[in-house]
Structures are given as structure tokens and as C-alpha cells.
Amino acid sequence: MRKVTKSKVTNFRFPKSPTGIRGLDNITNGGLPKNRPTLLLGNTGCGKTIMAMEFLVNGITQFNEPGVFMAFEEKIDELIANVKSLSYDLDKHLSEEKMYLEQIQVNRDAIVETGKYSIEGLFVRLEQAIDNVKAKRVVLDSLDTLFYGLDYLTLRSEFRRLFSWFKDKKVTAIITAELGDAFLTRHGLEEYVADCVIILDNRVTNQIATRRLRVMKYRGSLHGINEYPFIIDEKGITVFPLVSEGLQQKSSSLRISSGIKDLDEMMDKKGFYVGSSILISGTAGTGKTSVAASFAFNVCSNNKKCLFCAFEEAPNQITRNMLSIGVKLEPFAKSGVLTFYYSRPTLQNLELHFIAIRKIIHEIKPSVVILDPITNLMTEGPNSDIRSMLTRFVDYLKTEQITVMFTAAITVGSIERNPSDEGISSMVDTWMMVQDIEVEEERIRSLCVMKSRGMAHSNKVRRFNISSKGITLSPIVRSDKGATGDSKRNIKENKNLSTVSGSDEFKETAR
């Protein structure tokens, strides 16, 4: 008995109507509830109309489901013109009788209320519109206009009727409404619409606006409960569902050379794992970008595609600068093997950067992605958010088997305090530190591999030479070799220490 009921539960699949909107169907596990109304809430300028329109257009183009759009706010010709910029050709769908648009005007001033009434007129028009094109999808955009024109209590009960009418008509409907101040509780819509409620939001943090989407309620179905950022561009809406990643990561045993022979030597003589994440951290001017550029150069030389995301220097500045160490990136950039993504970190939210980068990745399918430097992005927004965003981004790259290299600029002071770069070093597979150290009263660049998962890596701190022929690593040489080196340095340090403390004492007494 128990077994039977169990299988019944697992076999049941809630009927859904796919939206065709990238990402949204992942969050909702397949789309909006079929033959039921969904409430789409949001403030002005959140993208409600566009999302609703995309739902209709995708219904026509992808799922052969004709649609009806009832516009309460915009004129029909304006609406058609407005969505043309999103490459929706409504005229075509209209002439093919796959779509029906109707404007509904509510003019408060011209109406006198003389007694009880219903909005049956709207029902009649809807029914006619649906029958016209045999619609399976309906959009009402937006309900608020009705509230400005008609009596609230009447509307409340009429909407209840409308929503159950949609179910009888077997159409999947999107009804948009303003979120406003406590809209939900004021109008009490959520109580009876309530099969699915999606909230759109356009928030400004640190002067950067981000659109977000949240599925507040979905009766009878699992759904992602977080807020997901989304963008509207010429290809329509893309929601960025970050939950779905990280489950099907593959771990490759293939290796990829770092492009620096001596560095490969330090890591099993083979280099990084394909699809792993690599972090290079170091203070300013220690050669992080040079390491990254050498890696990019080597990848491109093997005719594999590389995406270089520069957040500090312009691409042509990088190519020029790297020329000085014998890394010629320009031919690769011209032939398209190397793609630069250049953007000011402050231009948009980190998540939007990731969305943009992800789109490029989809287009060019690189085998290596370089982010230089990741720390510049970290100034935008609270730290915990960034870490989780980065983790999800790295997860995404791993599922795609893309090797990713970050550089991170750290300040001298933070090396002692917190050398782990805002905690990102714990999530990467290979972590290298480049540093200026003082040897024999001379500042030299050094490099060491702090960690490298799954390989026997060298623990040595190597001297890091940048010359016109590229990057080489060599042992750190001290003038007097052997056992005396350490003791000599100790003596020297002690001497330094004593002089420092001595001077402190001196200051104390002087005061």
C-alpha cells in the first residue's frame, strides 16, 4: 500500500506552461501553472509588460500557442513600436492571427456610478478576443488602471470571478499589477489569484540598478525561492538562475600548461587541471597581469579560445604592456582566438557583469576565462554577496569545463591580517601568491604556490623574473650560500628589530 501511494506522488507532474524566457523556466521547474492565472507584480519600470509580452511571443513562436494581450495602459500602436526594439515582430503575429491586441480604456471622469454593476463587459471582450485567435495565453496589463476608475469593493469580488473564469476558459494568464506600498495586503489579490505570484524589482544599490525576480508563491510546485537578477536586452529577458549550477561538475584529469615553463615545473611539471579555478593574488606591481597574460598567450598559441575580462586596464593597454615582456597578444585578438571583455566595474552590478560574461562565453565557447582583477569588482556591494556570486560563477565555469584564472590585488597590510583575499582563496583549486620580498637589501619579486588541489606542488618560494623574453622563475640566491644564510639573516633581522624597538623607547622617553 505504502509503495503505491509513494509512486503516485512522485509520478505526478504539475501541468505547466513554459515561458520560453531564459532562466525563468529553470526557476519555476518548467514554467507557469497551466490554465491558471499568474500574478506578476512590480513597480513602474520593472519590465512587467516586457516579460508578459515575451511570454506571449514565445508561446506563439516556440509552443504554437496563440495569445491575447489586453493593454490597459498603452496604446496598441505604441505597444507594437515599444517591443520592436526587442526584435518582437507583433505585426507578423497579428496578421497571421496568432495574436490579438486590444486596448482597454478606463476613464474615471466620464463615468457616473448609479448603482451596482459588474465588469462583465470586460469578460465579454476577453472571451471574444480569446475565441478570435483560439488563444491559450492571455495577458492583462495592468489591473491598477481599473482600480483608479472603478469601485474597489466591486472590483475585488469581480477579480475573484475573473481568475476562476480563466481556469474555466483553460487559458494560462499573466495579470500584471503595481506592487506599490503594501499593495498585496491592500487589495488582497494574492489570496485568491494565488496559483503563482512573481515579483519583479528594480533596486539601486551603490548607484547601480539591478533588476531582480522572485517567485513569491507557486501553488502545487517546487520553485526557486531566491531573488534572481535578470536583464532585458535586444534578445529579450534573461533571468540568471544561479541555483541550478554546481551539481553536474565534471572533474577532468587533463592538464593545461600555465605558459610559464618554470611554473609548470612547480606543479607536477604539467600545469593546472583543465576546468579548475586559479587565483593569483599579490600586491600592486608584482606581475599578476603578466602571469595571466602569459597564460592567455599560451592558450591562444595552442589555438584554443580565451576570454580576457579586463576590469582595470583597457585591452589595447594590456596588449601594449605585454609586448614589453615578449607576449604578443595582438595577432590573437585580431584573429578572434582571444576575446577581450572590458568594462568599468562601477558601470554595473557584479551580477550583471557575470551575466554579460556568461553571454559571451555562450557565444564564443572559450576554454579559458581570465578575470583581471577580481578585487576591483569586489568594491561593488557587500562582501558575502560577492563571495556567493563568485562561487556560483566558478561553479558555472566548472560545469562548462572552462579553466578560470582570477587575479586579486591585495594591500601589503592585509597579507598579515588576512592573506586569503576576502575568502575567495578557499574556493579556488590553485592559489598562487606573488609578492615583493626583501633579500639582501634588495626588493625582488617572488612567487609561491600556496595550494594546488590534487597535485604534488612545490612549496618553494621562487624568484620571479620578468624580462623582455617573458617570465622565468629561479631559486632565490643569497650572496653567501649554505647554512650561514639563514643565521645571517636572523642576525640581521634581530638587529633591525632591536633598532626599531630602540627607537620606540627613545620616542617614549622623549615624550
Partner 1 sequence: MTNLKKVPKSRRARVIAEDAESEKYILWLFVTGNLPNSARAIVNIKAICEQYLKGRFELEIIDIYQQPTLALAEEIIAIPLLIKKFPLPEERMIGDLSNIDLVLKGLHII
* Closer of 116 and 362 to partner 1 (Cβ): 116
Report the residue from 13, 108, 116, 443 that binds partner 1 according to the rule CB under 8 A.
Answer: 116
CB of 107 to partner 1, least distance (A): 8
Is residue 161 left, alpha or beta, with left meaning phi > 0 and alpha meaning psi from -120 to 50? alpha
Asked if 146 interacts with partner 1 (CB under 8 A), we say yes
Rounded CA-CA distance 211/208 in Å is: 10
* Closer of 150 and 356 to partner 1 (Cβ): 150
* Closer of 123 and 342 to partner 1 (Cβ): 123
Which class for 246: exposed (0-12), middle (13-18), buried (19 or more C-beta within 10 A)? middle
Cβ atoms of residues 1 and 20 within 8 Å: no
Bridge partners of residue 228, in order along the sequence = 213
* Closer of 128 and 301 to partner 1 (Cβ): 128
368-397 residues near partner 1, rule: CB under 8 A = none
Residues 6+ apart with CB under 8 A from 360: 307, 339, 341
CB of 127 to partner 1, least distance (A): 7
Rounded CA-CA distance 130/31 in Å is: 21
Report the residue from 89, 120, 363, 504 that binds partner 1 according to the rule CB under 8 A.
Answer: 120
- State the angle between helix axes of 48-63 and 76-84 in degrees (0 to 180), rounded to the nearest 10: 80
The span of 113-121, 244-252, 433-441, 458-466 binding partner 1 (CB under 8 A) equals 113-121
* Closer of 117 and 506 to partner 1 (Cβ): 117
> Where do we find the cell 501553472?
33
Number of residues that bind partner 1 (CB under 8 A): 23
**For residue 114, which amino acid is it?**
T
Collapse the DSSP code of 249 into the 3-class scheme (helix H, G, I; strand E, B; otherwise coil) and give the result.
coil
**Beta strand pairing call for 208-218 and 227-233:** antiparallel
CB of 29 to partner 1, least distance (A): 36
CB of 110 to partner 1, least distance (A): 5
Rounded CA-CA distance 502/500 in Å is: 5
Asked if 114 interacts with partner 1 (CB under 8 A), we say yes
Rounded CA-CA distance 349/18 in Å is: 29
Rounded CA-CA distance 374/386 in Å is: 10
> Residues 93-112: x/- map of binding to partner 1 (CB under 8 A)?
---------x-xxx---xxx
Asked if 124 interacts with partner 1 (CB under 8 A), we say yes
Report the residue from 46, 101, 119, 318 that binds partner 1 according to the rule CB under 8 A.
Answer: 119
- Other CB atoms closer than 10 Å to residue 245's CB: what's the count? 18
CB of 61 to partner 1, least distance (A): 27
Report the residue from 80, 122, 216, 232 that binds partner 1 according to the rule CB under 8 A.
Answer: 122
CB of 159 to partner 1, least distance (A): 13
CB of 231 to partner 1, least distance (A): 35
Distance of CA 198 to the CA centre of its chain: 20
Q: Taking the CA of residue 249 as centre, how many other CA atoms within 13 Å lie in the half-sphere pointing to its CB? A: 19
Report the residue from 44, 78, 92, 117 that binds partner 1 according to the rule CB under 8 A.
Answer: 117
Please report, as ranges, the residues that interact with partner 1 according to CB under 8 A: 102, 104-106, 110-122, 124-125, 127-128, 146, 150
